[in-house]
Structure 1
């Protein structure tokens, strides 16, 4: 990082590292822990209590857990329940688009409306009396058990 991003301003590294660490903690629910001070090796540790290993078993659970925390936050901020179009809109502003395959998350619609619904993290329901049909996202029962809105 020093050579690539802070080439001419390496004295700012502690402040930048601290700010990035705080953003990762607040936005994605992960904390940076130093594993080896001598070699400056760090690891990311989930802080939300979400069961990352169960989110994805092929070793990519942490990014998906962070993304799940982000989706739950969007639902909370939009109002629980959150209109489907508001969730897709918020995610597209982060350059994660429904209908496009993402290299880590796969296809968003399937991840949010099938996988995480089956796992109990989200609920996806049709709004009553909506013509054409409109859908909303809600926190699922498992999300309530494993973390809190606050």
Structure 2
């Protein structure tokens, strides 16, 4: 799986730890603020003036608060408007809305697999929908569940990079470990990843998990399942994959962990 590991050098660029968990994302978030990626997020202006006028620590807190607020709206399937975000989250820092909103949207898409789409430009109203229209989060049964389409889209993309669209299990875990997603290690967003990949998404039809014949010891591999073929196109998934590889994904889980904690406290 050489293609999977190709971006690893960029993903493993050093991230300075500055104390608390949220401080670990300051450097990466600051780089994004100074040089935002060309994305499909609803707001993408030049942010240099905003980034210089407010400490990065404060921007990170605002982004985490907005992510938590967007997650709440996603669970309740409610639309959201700019005025609501300004009043409920930004408060006295409303001048920094373009930067904070853009980064929160990027976090929602890359980590949680949730797109923030504008539906009324005049009223600045948005809806939150799963990336690529996947329905694996159609029902979030308990109040603590986190959206997981982001990891699913990434995994579907990794499978497409393999010969014959078949990904050996051991190489999948090598690729995901770069993002801090490891088998049998509880993840703050995705839960127990191995159970999610080999049981939940297999039962839901998004993945096929099969034993490689004539192997001793036993080896397994992942393929797209019938539901993935029905809901997503290979081209759409491959278009999404490079966006994940251009960022240091270790920054976002720390940011989102803070947002999730805030959300749970407010529940």
- TM-score (normalised: structure 2): 0.45
Structure with higher helix content: 2
Q: CA deviation at 1:74?
A: 1.5
Over the aligned positions, Cα root-mean-square deviation in angstroms equals 3.7
Mapped to 2, the partners of 1:112 and 1:124 lie a distance apart of 8
The equivalent position to 1:137 in structure 2, one of 222, 225, 247, is 222
1:1-150 mapped onto 2 (5 Å cutoff): 3=54, 4-5=58-59, 14=98, 18=102, 21=105, 25=109, 29-33=113-117, 44-54=128-138, 56-58=140-142, 63-79=147-163, 80-150=165-235
For residues 39-92 of structure 1, the C-alpha deviation after alignment (integer angstroms, 9 at most, x for no partner) is x88663223121143464335676212221111112112341100011101110
Change (3 A) 1:16 1:106: closer
Change (3 A) 1:45 1:51: same
Contact 2:113/2:148, CA 8 A, preserved across alignment? no
Worse overlay, 50-59 or 98-107 = 50-59
Worse overlay, 74-83 or 109-118 = 74-83
Worse overlay, 41-50 or 69-78 = 41-50
Q: CA deviation at 1:99?
A: 1.4
Mapped to 2, the partners of 1:144 and 1:103 lie a distance apart of 28
Structure with higher strand content: 1
Greater RCO, 1 or 2 (C-alpha within 8 Å, sep 6+): 2
Determine helix, strand or coil for the equivalent of 1:130: coil
Per the alignment, residue 265 of structure 2 pairs with none
Mapped to 1, the partners of 2:176 and 2:190 lie a distance apart of 12
Mapped to 2, the partners of 1:53 and 1:119 lie a distance apart of 11
- TM-score (normalised: structure 1): 0.74
Mapped to 2, the partners of 1:101 and 1:26 lie a distance apart of 19
Contact 2:59/2:100, CA 8 A, preserved across alignment? no
Equivalent pairs counted in the alignment come to 146
**Which blocks of at least 5 consecutive residues in structure 2 are unaligned?**
1-28, 30-49, 61-94, 236-267
Determine helix, strand or coil for the equivalent of 1:100: coil
**Which blocks of at least 5 consecutive residues in structure 1 are unaligned?**
none
Mapped to 2, the partners of 1:103 and 1:62 lie a distance apart of 9
Change (3 A) 1:128 1:119: same
